[in-house]
Amino acid sequence: MRIQSVFKCLFVAAAVALTACGGNGSKSVFNVADYGADSADGVDNAAAIQKAIDACADAGGGSVVIPAGRTFMTGPLHLRSNVDLHLEPGSRLLANPDESIYTESAFGENRGEGMMWLIGKDLEGVSITGTGTIDGNGVAFMGAELEDSYELKPVTTFDPRPHVLTLINCKKINIRDVTITGSAYWTVHLVGCYDAAISDISLLNNLKIRNGDGIDLDHSRKVRITGCFIESGDDCICLKNRREYEEYGPCRDIVVTNCIMTSRSCAVKIGSENMDSIDHVLFDNCIIRNSNRGIGIQNRDEGTVSDVTFANMSVECLLHSDVWWGKAEPIYVTSYPRAPGNHKDAGWRFPKGATTGSCGPVSRIKFVNISCESENGCFIGGETPDKINDITFDRVDIRLNKFTAWPGGVYDKRPCDGEGFVNAPVYGFYIDTASDITFNDCRINASGLGTEPFGGDYKLLNVISVTTR
């Protein structure tokens, strides 16, 4: 009887505690449906979801839950510190297709490169978790569908297309397990962020949508990306230093591992925007499939790129139309001055008051144990030999195969001042103006090119100091 009384008391205490917590075992769970979110078609739930986010933050933090199996259309939302936006299985946040509601620029005073949808500024402890879906509704913001892309609607100094998630000056970020899809512009953009982890997400954009980057790390530090599956029309993972956010300093201390990527542009890219320094970066154990370009360093501004290692990667590249930058180069390392232009954001491409720019050096770059299968070879080139310096290719295998009907015999230098294309036969490595290049146990097999002109294993022009082991 005494034991039964003890159990009875424990049961009653537990029941009281559960009731006090709203029946879910935690005072810190805020279901958006309890704040008026409605999954009916055509209802914008921004106000209701924002109420849940604000209530969660005001209570000291917790989880804002998007309930399972339901779709909630919403306009822009502002995230808060110590709030986990949690998407339950089968749930979906859908971007409102009304362009007029997107008014906060993704690049500050430069309003020509998209607005923001999910927004976080000056926050700490931001999480987005769960197995639901965040859908940017990208096709709704496009023009006509073309054979190789979507037409972009004409814009001048204002582009309403929303970026899916923009976090600016945030610390301790955790993005895990979710599916993010259908971005109309960049998808996950971290600006000036510190201590961020992105793991096990599926980022699946429409491959015909231009500017549809996957993950952009902009002036950010101490970032880990692991176990992600990314498909995007533009770059899958891109490191850069945009001029609009120069106050946040360099982009450095980045690790990317165990990711699978497909891109119509460049799967892994450093640049082209880089007005500071990008350094101490590791890409390891990744697979790139069916991409227009594989691994690319594309320096077009005065910033520097150094101490970067790409290791244990499998790269497959196919030719696509000229809408997309790249000509199936599995490895691409370049530093050229940016082309002057009169496009919508030309005033933000160069230092204030300047109409032309310069390019910084790319140095101490290592490619280790990289297996490539592609319609084209690697391209390395700089404005002067010192701009591409100390590049090591260690056990880089290149199998040249013809997969598509697109003509080869061309390398893509865009965006650069001067001729954007180099017309030449396919080589394993085409190197034009560089210094201190090391090849160790590299192999080229051109047997799959068929009738495509093959120039040879190596083409070296104005290269100072080549070491072959």
pLDDT tens-digit series, residues 257-306:
999 999 999 999 999 999 999 999 999 999 999 999 999 999 999 999 99
Reply yes or no on whether the pLDDT at 215 is more than 70.
yes
Residues 6+ apart with CB under 8 A from 105: 111, 113, 114, 115, 116
Q: What is the pLDDT of residue 24?
A: 41
> Is residue 27 very low, low, confident or very high in pLDDT (cuts 50, 70, 90)?
low
Cα→Cα distances 106→154, 158, 160, 187, 210, Å: 18, 11, 10, 11, 17
Mean predicted lDDT score pLDDT of the chain: 93
pLDDT reported for residue 22 = 35
- Closest of 414, 412, 417 to residue 350, by C-alpha: 417
What three-state secondary structure class fits 14? helix
Is it the case that residue 63 has pLDDT exceeding 50?
yes
pLDDT over threshold 80, residue 19: no
pLDDT for res 109:
94
3-state helix, strand, coil in the chain (%, to 5): 10, 50, 40
**Alpha-carbon gap, residue 270 to 177, rounded angstroms:** 25
Question: Which is it for the CA torsion 324, 327, 328, 334, positive or negative?
Answer: negative
What's the pLDDT score for residue 355? 86
Q: Distance of CA 260 to CAs 51, 178, 309, Å?
A: 37, 16, 17
Position 347 scores a pLDDT of 74
Q: What global pTM score does this model have?
A: 0.94
The total of structural domains in the chain comes to 1
Q: Which of 263, 266, 335, 338 lies closest to 306 in space, CA to CA?
A: 335
What's the rounded mean pLDDT across residues 408-437? 95
Residue 25 lies in a domain: no
Using DSSP's 3-state secondary structure scheme, residue 4 falls into helix
- Cα–Cα distance between 418 and 38 in angstroms, integer? 54
Domain at 378, CATH number: 2.160.20.10
Place of tokens 């000229």: 322
pLDDT at 7: 38
Angstrom distances, CA of residue 414 to CA of 4, 171, 316, 460: 78, 34, 21, 20
Q: How large is the average pLDDT for residues 419-445?
A: 97
Q: Please determine, for residue 405, whether its predicted confidence score (pLDDT) is greater than 70.
A: yes
70-105 pLDDT tens trace: 999 999 999 999 999 999 999 999 999 999 999 999
pLDDT of residue 329: 98
User: Is 27 inside any structural domain?
Assistant: no
Flag whether 11 is in a domain.
no
Mean pLDDT of 165-181: 98
In a domain, 183, yes or no: yes
In which band, very low, low, confident or very high, does the pLDDT at 219 lie, cut at 50, 70 and 90?
very high
- For residue range 110-159, list pLDDT tens digits in order: 999 999 999 999 999 999 999 999 999 999 999 999 999 999 999 888 99
Question: For 452, phi and psi rounded to 5 degrees?
Answer: -65, 130
**Structural domain for 131, as ranges:** 32-468
Strand partners, 179: 133, 202
Among residues 264, 191, 204, 195, the alpha carbon closest in space to that of 224 is found at: 195
Q: Per DSSP, what are the bridge partners of residue 310?
A: 283, 367
Q: Which residues partner with 230 through β-bridges?
A: 203, 261
pLDDT at residue 23 above 60? no
Q: Tell me, what's the pLDDT at 264?
A: 96
Residue 18 lies in a domain: no
| Residue 3 within a domain | no
The contacts of residue 92 (CB under 8 Å, 6+ apart) are: 66, 70, 71, 72, 132, 133, 134, 135
pLDDT at 20 over 80: no
User: Given this model, what pLDDT does residue 343 score?
Assistant: 60
* Separation between Cα atoms, residue 64 and residue 230, nearest integer Å: 26
Which residue's entry shows tokens 């399972």? 68
* Cβ-contact 347, 356 below 8 angstroms: no
Percent of the chain whose pLDDT exceeds 70? 93
